[in-house]
Amino acid sequence: MNSVLFVTDPLNGLQADVDATIGLMSATQDLGLDVWCCEPADLIVANGKLHARAQRIRLRPRHPAGGDHRWIVDSHWYDELAVAVVEVATFDLVQLRIDPPVDERYLHTTYLLDLAGTPVINRPDGIRAVHEKLIALRFPELCPPTYISADVTGLREFLETVGTAVVKPVDGFAGLDVWLVGNDHAATSLLESATHGGRRQVIAQQYLPAVEHGNKRLFLLDAEIVGAVLRRPCADDFRIGPPVAPADIDDADRAIVAALRPHLLQHGIAIAGLDVIGGRLIEVNVTCPGGMHKTDALLGTQLSHTIVNRLATSSRHLEGVLA
């Protein structure tokens, strides 16, 4: 393998000290592979073949900040070496690394990458098939009590059953527009706001007090656990913050992964991040799984390198994603 194309959001908008995509780029470069980047708008189809107006970059040196989840990097963290229109099939691998939501832009990108002619991680049709928040509901025995609706009355009745719930939009991401709603006099008003007056479906899940001990992120590669880290709520916010400590992998984690494994492999989901609280599955991150670069900085692990090395060397994996 000689070159990898990263389809990303604008490079100048990435957080070079924490972004998982940059960690994967750095690990790719460390393996001696050329790193090329483009944005979705740079994809072109001509004569039935997919091309990209891409730039080849070289990342500048970085090192862990020490005792933190960040890396010390130059403010301008890369150098541009070349710009060219390149047929995507000439790359040995494409990494799809644009942030959710899976909106019109994201979906159009996946349809174009169906024409890549080379392995794409994660597989575009797999991302369309595996909804990050809804796939977990195929395994209700593994999840907290959950209710999905746009109907405020039904959601209020669910609250009466579970007491307190975390409420979030079905297409939400990055902790945006997430509500902690109790069964009290404010609930109806909050649910009306969360559902946009009954016009937007939301996911309501029973609040798990075990989150105080940590939300566990399980890092999966080819549906196998390659690492785990704990994240906890911030002091002034119920939502989850950055990684803070290593996490033990227990039997509940293994059972969750075993249940998901056939679905992830079937749909070519090579890289995934599972969110687990108190042994309960919360979410399956597949669109642009993150946290690896932060964890490597904090714990001294090599998750980014492990992932890139496996993708670069495993012919079994490449055959799977092309299937």
pLDDT tens digits in sequence order for the chain, 323 residues long: 589 999 999 999 999 999 999 999 999 999 999 999 999 999 999 999 999 999 999 999 999 998 889 999 998 999 999 999 999 999 999 999 999 889 999 999 999 999 999 999 999 999 999 988 888 889 999 999 999 999 999 999 999 999 999 999 988 776 677 889 998 988 999 999 999 999 999 999 999 999 888 899 999 999 999 999 999 877 666 777 788 899 999 999 999 999 999 999 999 999 999 999 999 999 999 999 999 999 999 999 999 999 999 998 763 344 444 33
The owner of tokens 């609930």 is 187
Can you tell me whether residue 29 is helix, strand or coil? helix
Q: Which domains does the chain possess?
A: 3-123 (3.40.50.20), 145-207 (3.30.1490.20), 210-301+310-322 (3.30.470.20)
pTM to 2 decimal places: 0.91
218 within 8 A of 281, measured Cβ to Cβ:
no
For residue 4 the two structure tokens come to 């990898």
β-partners of residue 7 are 38, 96
Q: How far is 31 from 80, CA to CA, in rounded Å? A: 19
First to last CA, the chain: 19
CB-facing half-sphere around the CA of 312: CA atoms within 13 A? 22
SS (HEC) of 140-198: HHHCCCEEEECCHHHHHHHHHHHCEEEEEECCCCCCCCCEEEECCCCHHHHHHHHCCCC
Q: Phi/psi of residue 264, each to 5°?
A: -65, -45
DSSP assignment of 30-47? HTT-EEEEE-GGGEEEET
Sign of the torsion formed by the C-alpha atoms of 284, 288, 289 and 290? negative
